[in-house]
Structure 1
Amino acid sequence: MTSTNAASPVSLPAVLITGATRGIGRAVADELAADHHLILGGRDAEATAALAAQFPSAEPFVAELTDHAAVAAAVEALDLSGGLAGVVHSAGILVRGRVDELEAGEWTRSLAVNVVAVAELTRLLLPALRAARGTVVTINSGNGFNAGPSGGAYAASKFALRAFTDSLRAEEREHGVRVSSVHPGRVATDMQRQLRGSENGEYREQDYVQPTSVAATVALALRLPAEASIDTLSIRPR
């Protein structure tokens, strides 16, 4: 797998990263750039192309992940003849509110982005992942284990995402596809700023895990020797 940005004729293992233009997704791209061909997912074509130009081997993957026809077309346009070494599901949204405040559409939006879009993109990529005995990594959350006040819709989506990874792992073991669920605590990202704002709290970056630390965890899951798998991993601020 190579691109016009490739610095070497040697084919690199390809990994698709959703939400690659910011936060954890961008940190994952930086972490993997040295030894992977990056397929960078984003909604903004110009921003995604500009990001891809910064790496030695990269290409954009532009689609609104809840537009399933657009996602299918974007996958079809990829050259995955060499298989796919990994997909990192980093894109997601934070829906906050008490149960007596949230309407049905907000629950639906949380599940559509954080669960259904992940499941559908994974389904489309499974033939290429099986061919390469690749790895699926989902960026989950501490809320995938515990829910608190005003976090029901977000936690419900993350609990469901954890169930998805557990089921997918059991199904794909016979095909050699690894499935890793990574659960960061509070991470120093724009989403954390949004969360602290909704909590009427101060955003103090030093209190949170850095995106680079989460990216290192994702890279470990992808780079493990073939006989090993990280099934579930929790990473918290020290």
Structure 2
Amino acid sequence: MSKTPLALVTGASRGIGAAVARALSPTHRLLLGGRDADALGKVAEELRDAQAWPADLGDLASLGTAVAGIDRLDVLVHSAGVAELGTIEQSDSASWRRNYEINVLAVVELTRLLLPALRAAGGHVVVINSGSGMNTKAAWGAYSASKFAARAFADTLRLEEEPNGLRVTSVFPGRTATEMQEAVTAAEGIPYSPDDYLSPDSVAAAVLGAVSATPDAHPTDVIVRPRRR
């Protein structure tokens, strides 16, 4: 059995997830989670010891099969997410459900299924949250509510699992230059300029810092904002 720690990163085909995978690659074996097996394979080819882990996080019933065989896991990074915006009047129950299914329920169920493997390794769970998990604004209700729920989940998991040796970190990035952000700004009707936002690599560096913290330290909440220019 390899002594190199194993990390599973969801949403690893692009954006923050791919950046996190690159940041962890020098020190970890990697399972790259996502729906697009071809895109995951291309990311895996660029990294030292990585393989695609295709899974549909929207299909919660399939996750038990997907995690079969993972009996020891050092790091679980929840980076996959969706953002559907709209006012309360505009957002029907289906929109709220889609935000919750990926941003909350998939995070909860995947973590729950992998708890034995995480406990075996004294592992670390990282939830990529959002500034919207701390503050909300008009037209962001469903997304923001899902991120507040993800924050509550991480806080509860930390309380329950720290005695079992697990660390749990929520990372709250400000707006980040990703394809999701480009779609969000289009929905808001504002120009998109990547230079106005955090780079995915900056968020990944914050994740790496949390995961690399000395054993006596427990990074609980990490807030990363773009510098004002």
> Per the shorter chain, which TM-score range?
over 0.9
Instruction: Provide the rounded CA distance (Å) in 2 between the counterparts of 1:15 and 1:161.
Output: 20
Whole-angstrom CA distance in 1 between matches of 2:23 and 2:83: 24
1:1-238 correspondence runs (5 A): 11-76=3-68, 78-80=69-71, 83-238=72-227
Task: Extract unaligned runs of 5+ from structure 1.
Answer: 2-9
Amino acid at match of 2:107: V
Distance 1:63 1:184 in 2: 25
CA distance in 2, matches of 1:18, 1:142: 19
Aligned pairs, number: 227
TM-score, normalised on structure 1? 0.93
Query: Could you tell me which residue of structure 2 aligns to residue 7 of structure 1?
Result: none
After the TM superposition, list the runs of 4 or more consecutive aligned residues in structure 1 that deviate by more than 2 angstroms. Answer: none
Secondary structure in 2 matching 1:169: helix
Q: Tell whether the 8 Å contact from 2:70 to 2:117 is kept in structure 1 after alignment.
A: no
TM-score (norm 2): 0.96
Q: Distance in 2 between matches of 1:123 and 1:25?
A: 20
Percent identity of paired positions between Structure 1 and Structure 2: 48
Question: 44-53 vs 122-131, which deviates more?
Answer: 44-53
- Which residue type is aligned with residue 207 of structure 2? V
Distance 1:226 1:71 in 2: 30
Superposed CA RMSD in Å reads 1.1
* Structure 2 unaligned regions, length at least 5: none
What letter corresponds to residue 49 of structure 1 in structure 2? G
Are 2:132 and 2:148, in contact at CA under 8 Å, matched by a contact in 1? yes
How far residue 56 of structure 1 moved from its aligned partner, in angstroms, is 1.6
Separation (CA, whole Å) in 2 of partners of 1:190 and 1:64: 19
